[in-house]
Structure 1
Amino acid sequence: MSTQHANEPTPVAAWRRALPGLLFAGLLATTVLLARRVERESGQLGSASETEARSTADAYGFHFDEVSQSVGIDFVHSAPSFDPRLEHIMPQVASMGAGLAVGDYDRDGWLDIYVTNSGEGSANRLYHNLGDGRFEDRAPELGLADLNRAGTGVSMAALWGDYDNDGFDDLLVTKWGRPELFHNEAGRSFRRVTEGAGLPDWVNATSAVWFDYDRDGMLDLFLGGYYPESVDLWHLDSTAIMPESFEYALNGGRKYLLRNLGDGRFEDVAESVGLVSSRWALAAAAADLRGSGWQDLVIANDYGVAEYFRNDAGRFREVGAENGIGDRPKSGMNVAFGDVFNDGRSAIYITNISQEGVLVQGNNLWLPSQAAEDAAPHYDNFAGAMDVELGGWSFGAQFGDLDNDGFQDLFLTNGYVSADPKRDYWYDMAKVAGGNARIIGDAANWPPMLGRSLSGYQHKRVWRNGGSGRFANVADAVGVRETFDGRAVALADLDNDGALDVLVAHQRGPLLVYRNGVRPEAGWIQFELEGSASNRDAYGATVDLFWDGQRQRQELVSASGFCAQNQSRLHFGLGAAGRVDRVEIRWPSGRQQTIHDPEPRRLHRIVENAPEEVGR
């Protein structure tokens, strides 16, 4: 069966009337945030005038308004406090978390938001989309709030995935501690199934991926450790818990590949299928990058090289050194895929660190040299040539067509530790980096931070794809001016109006919601896929859209970015085109499906094995 819905449900006017709050005055009650609060006219937490927004939309095709307060989202992330022996570098070792996952947990047609907190005793939030421009936290009543209890660790990332194919997305939460899995009871409640499902007892993980690595129609689960699983950051046996090297550290956490047994249980098969690594994983994502029908796994590692695990019919081989992605060590923090040239090739974007005058690792935009079926292409880094290399201390980044012109843009957040802006920790950091393994690996040897900043107060990037192989940063012009320490970024059409809104979670800062005002004449089309022979979420399906002489490929993936999950709807901008020629879908099962002349400005729900023509 295949259905389509005309902007359903769509009270766009509710969002248009929802103006941003004055400031986060009453909300940001901590010393850190109060010190950083500034007035609207300085560019922090302010909204552009309607005249400015209209003129910007005319010039660039879109404009953002930050509306979190006015739509009922008041989340502020709190950081954990670890063993007192780490107190001198606590702002640094406690600098992760603030994850985001977008999904429609109750299948009402409106996208909901799950956001993770990391302070001991702090609450995670599940913001239910009420469909009228407002959100309401339902986490306490659904049993998804109180996950940061003493002795269990604290939350990092979250990920929706229908592991039992019952039509309702279940929720995984990774922690520096015990990972948690919750079964979705038809959108009415969630049932904790962690131990019964066979999840590991303790994994210090920020990265997780739902994907069907063996193509049996059931979602499997990857977990990537950062610190070794033997490390309990609250109760240290030793302070020798840091990486042994800033470039080639191999003393990080192990990797888990939990194969879905089909009865609610999982078993770890990582070692038996060749998915073995002890690097410091911060982000991971899976995609069919070779057109083989099998999803490969890309891991962004801190303190070392990125890894590319090629999936050969359910067995993995690490080929990063061969294909170029693992050519040199950096500080990887993000993995995202995007067809930036509209030629059917998926680029891989991995973020790193850039600090003027100190360290310029640069972000990487890896493009394959070829896109042949079952090929083993070599990747080259085009980040510098395409002007998306320098993003500060970069964390989450996502590809998406923000102005609906038919080309995928790139939104990036950044900033590590914002403290005293007049005092900098970089000099002492550099001294540690130059030491040997004994010095680097023991936290006791790291100089105290003493309230100093480390790549703080950085400006986000909104890189607009001009369609000619170059991107231009238009962040300030389109209304993105906040300088909190960003972590997760997620893209979602929260008001069902055909424009991608942007969510950004911040470490020790607020969850910001950028409502997107796209020039109305720019067209769009969206697809929501449902597998039958494939996994129900259709993770791993590739969609090629053909229109106006253009072609763009997108793949439906679970994890993307840093500690983030975008909406599962695939969104394509169409520019001025009034019609779409066809859409070609390759399902994870291998089935191929073509739909001719799908109607623009609609969300199309496509079910695997349904008739090939969309009904009108």
Structure 2
Amino acid sequence: MSGAKRPSQRRRKIWYSVAATGLGTAVLTVCVLWVQAARKTDLANPLEGITALDTQPAVQSTSLRFRDVAGERGVVMRHSPGRRHRLLPEDTGSGLAWGDYDGDGDYDLYVVNFLARQGEAAAAEGYSRLFRNDGGRFTDVTLQAGVANEDGFGMGAAWGDYDGDGLADLYVTNFGRNRLYHNQGDGTFREVACQAKVDDPLWSTSATWADFDGDGLLDLYVCNYVDYDAAEFGPELTLPRGGTGYRVPFALNPNSFDPVPNRLYRNRGDGTFDEVARAWGVDNPDGRSFAASFCDFNGDGQPDLFVANDSTPDKLFLNLRGRYGWFGAAGRLPPNGTGFWDAAPSTGTADTRGAMGVSVAELNFMLGLPDGLPDLFITHWVAQENGCYVSQRISADLFEYHDKTREFRLGEISLDMVGWGCGFADFDLDGRPDLAVANGSTLEDRADPSQLIPEPVFLFWNDGQKFHDVASLAGPDTRRTYVARGLAICDFDDDSLPDLAISVNRGPVVLLHNETQTAHHALKIRLRGPAAMCVGAKVEVHAGPLPQVQWLGADVSVMSQHAPELIFGLGEREKADRVVVTWRDGQTTAFEDVPAGRKEIRYPEGPAPRR
């Protein structure tokens, strides 16, 4: 949610070239706003202007079909009842998260909400919701479960078994104090954030769980945004957003407010946490953070941390416990020789645009050079292309990222959008990861300033070399426009086809059921064992000339969480030749000739080697 920003180590061909002059900025502004208006008023007409180069689909048909089934399946909820007060937190939220809280094998859905205004009494719909999944149909169990976050100004959520009892606990981020709901195993939760020392009072956006220090316990990283106090400013004061020239109310411009540091909560194993972000070098005090992903980005066996920042450089913190992490870290080591150091400038990922959502996948196969390392997709604010960074190993100790956004056709099409939640999934099970993106403007409708401008979703089908947006071809519900925010992927009805849940600012939840007709097969993998060993595990499936790779929990969206299962499309193959799981502690589990269907893989019994 930032003004236009200059990407480091890149040269843009469209708006970056014209924005060098005042006239160019003015022309860009007119184009962006005209396209926004065109989308809102006449979706039937072809778009022209700054994104016309890459908005027309290269494919004229698709087998993908999606339909919104939220109402008929029982996911009935409207985000933020009441009128809009022109407050930045209101326009930012909220997300949603999939997790199996009752252990029945069906993934349940938590949808984050907030009151019409902080401090108001809870309205009939003004609280977050937990929908229990029973075979693909949902029941609202929020009040029985005790997870309503009633007086919280909700932003995001993340499930994680922090105490190792085999039950999914729930962390909820707020504009205000965050909440930690401990799963008591009887369908109810107890709020323990204060006792656990994770009740951060800052404006938090996303949260993510991982065992960053290898002690066998899930730790928690919390993204914080800005030091916001709307009482200081009147909504009538406006300032231009850098680059676009669009005058935005001062209180709605994140650049008006100072960033605040992020939190890293290290699990003590007794139900409490120590806050160690600064000590470990990941507090990111100058960043306005929206999302963060723990993943082994350099392949050294340790979870690193990518942080998507708005209006400030993104961060790629390498874990110094890894065998490559020491390179270039001289003078940066904490006294105990552990911590993280920021490799974003040296790897080409210190992008300074308005980053929101983050997705992780192995995309080097599209270049014919699969390397088994995670690549990055990042959503951005309006007039800023989304970013797609593909890794390249230079030597055993060095790697960098190359911007393949244009080459993959993910750039120009996104210029007039405000991108939010995102996620990779093989929606047609052809063996290639596709990509879904939730868009929704933060700009007010000039005809009705009480409303934000809705935008279409992106549904990018992967042909093996490029992505093609086929949302307009996949059904009437993917052709509609939404003020979308969070996006989370889950096969909620267990038919092996990934479905989509999308949260809509001041709108109903959208549950897009994947109704694609295909003869392709899938392998659904669920990892069983200690949560700290499963989160961050790398799974390789060999079923064809090139291996498929996924990392559990690394694909994070924004303020949201995908279901903790991995779906691999096998195409016409009825089995995978080989499946290899590399657990968080480095142990591996391998299987040969694995038939299509569901496969549960358990963490090896016995003591794990410590590294």
Please give the TM-score of this superposition, normalised by the length of structure 2.
0.78
**Partner in structure 2 of residue 227 of structure 1:** 226
Residue 389 of structure 2 corresponds to residue 387 of structure 1: no
Decide which moves more: 340-349 or 500-509: 340-349
Residue 306 of structure 1 deviates from its aligned partner by 1.1
Once the two structures are superposed, residues 460-497 of structure 1 have per-residue CA deviations (whole angstroms, 9 ceiling, x without a partner) of 11000001x21111001112112110111111011111
SS at match of 2:584: coil
Gaps of 5+ in 1: 1-37, 44-56, 355-359, 424-449, 612-616
Q: CA–CA distance in 1 between the matches of 2:138 and 2:44?
A: 28
Instruction: Give, in whole Å, the separation in 1 of the partners of 2:242 and 2:314.
Output: 13
CA distance in structure 2 between the partners assigned to 1:42 and 1:59 by the alignment: 17
Between the aligned partners of 2:488 and 2:480, the Cα distance in structure 1 is: 16
Matching residue within 465, 482, 485 for 2:483: 485
Equivalent residues of 1:406, 1:574 under 8 A apart: yes
1:78 to 80, 92, 95: 80
Other-structure match for 1:304: 312
One-letter amino acid of the counterpart of residue 594, structure 2: P
* 2:343 matches 1:319: yes
Equivalent residue number for residue 556 of structure 1:
552
Matches within 5 A, 1:201-240: 201-228=200-227, 231=228
- Determine if the alignment matches structure 1 residue 140 to structure 2 residue 143: yes
Distance (Å, rounded) in 2 between the aligned partners of 1:148 and 1:496? 32
SS in 2 for 1:564: coil
Specify the alignment match of 2:504 in structure 1: 506
Residue in structure 2 matched with residue 6 of structure 1 by the alignment: none
Query: Residue 464 of structure 1 aligns with which residue?
Result: 461
Alpha-carbon shift at residue 419 of structure 1 (Å): 5.3
Preserved contact between residue 394 and residue 400 of structure 2 (Cα < 8 Å)? no
Q: 1:115 to 1:505 in 2, by over 3 A?
A: same
CA–CA distance in structure 2, aligned partners of residues 302 and 243 of structure 1:
17
* CA offset digits 1:507-551 (Å, max 9, x no partner): 11111111112333111001111234x726x11100011012220
Q: Describe how 1:355-366 pairs up with structure 2 within 5 A.
A: 360-366=383-389
Task: Provide the secondary structure at the position in 2 that maps to 1:114.
Answer: strand
| Code of the aligned partner of 1:266 | F
Partner of 1:27: none
Amino acid at match of 2:300: S
Which letter maps to 2:204? A
Q: CA deviation at 1:74?
A: 1.2
**Contact 2:356 / 2:421 at 8 angstroms: preserved in 1?**
yes
Task: Report sequence identity in percent.
Answer: 30
User: Which residue of structure 1 aligns with residue 354 of structure 2?
Assistant: 331
Residues 93 and 138 of structure 1: CA distance in aligned 2, closer, same or farther (over 3 Å): closer
| SS of the residue 1:598 aligns to | strand
**Contact 1:154–1:177, Cα closer than 8 Å, also in 2:** yes
Structure 2: state its 5+ residue gaps: 1-39, 46-58, 244-253, 322-337, 607-611
Change (3 A) 1:227 1:470: same
Q: 1:586 aligns with which of 582, 598, 602?
A: 582
Is 1:98 matched up with 2:94?
yes
3-state secondary structure, aligned to 2:473 = coil
Q: Distance in 2 between matches of 1:264 and 1:371?
A: 42
Deviation sequence 1:347-369 (CA, Å, 0-9, x none): 10111123xxxxx3211000011
Tell me: CA distance 1:79–1:207, structure 2 relative to 1, closer, same or farther (3 Å): farther
Equivalent residue letter for 1:140: L
SS of 1:321 mapped into structure 2: helix
- 1:405 paired with 2:405, answer no
Secondary structure of the structure 2 residue equivalent to 1:196? helix
List per-residue Cα deviations over 1:51-89 (Å, max 9, x = no partner).
xxxxxx99533311111111111111117889xxxx5x4
Shift of 1:309: 1.1
1:262 equivalent in alignment to 2:262: no
How many Å separate the matches in 2 of 1:136 and 1:461? 29
SS in 1 for 2:455: coil
Q: Could you tell me which amino acid in structure 1 is paired with residue 532 of structure 2?
A: N
Mapped pair 1:292 → 2:294: no
SS of the residue 2:91 aligns to: coil
1:535 aligns with 2:542: no
Q: Please give the alpha-carbon distance, in whole angstroms, between the structure 2 residues aligned to 1:79 and 1:300.
A: 29
1:69 counterpart SS class: helix
Q: Determine the C-alpha separation between the residues in 2 that align with 1:551 and 1:160.
A: 29
Supply the distance in 1 between the matched residues of 2:189 and 2:284 (Cα, whole angstroms). Answer: 33
Residues of 2 paired with 1:293 and 1:474: CA distance? 37
Q: In 2, Cα distance between the equivalents of 1:80 and 1:453?
A: 12
Q: Which amino acid aligns with 2:203?
A: N
Deviation of 1:277 (Å): 1.6
SS in 2 for 1:203: coil
Secondary structure at 1:195 match in 2: helix
2:226 & 2:239 partners in 1: Cα distance?
Answer: 9
What CA distance in whole angstroms lies between the structure 1 residues aligned with 2:71 and 2:390? 39
* Residues 307, 318 of structure 1: 8 Å contact kept: yes
**Matching of residues 51-66 of structure 1 within 5 Å:** 60-66=62-68
What is the distance in 2 between the residues matched to 1:335 and 1:75?
A: 26
Q: Distance in 2 between matches of 1:114 and 1:560?
A: 15
Contact 1:503-1:514 at 8 Å conserved across structures = yes
Amino acid aligned to 1:319: A
Contact 1:501 / 1:515 at 8 angstroms: preserved in 2?
yes
CA positional deviation for 1:177: 0.4
2:419 aligned partner, one-letter code: S
TM-score, with normalisation over the residues of structure 1?
A: 0.77
> Out of 114, 125, 132, which is 1:128 matched to?
132
Give the CA deviation at 1:93: 4.8
* Rounded Cα–Cα distance in structure 2 between residues aligned with 1:324 and 1:217: 32
2:402 match: secondary structure: strand
Q: Which residue of 1 aligns with 2:16?
A: none
Change (3 A) 1:309 1:245: farther
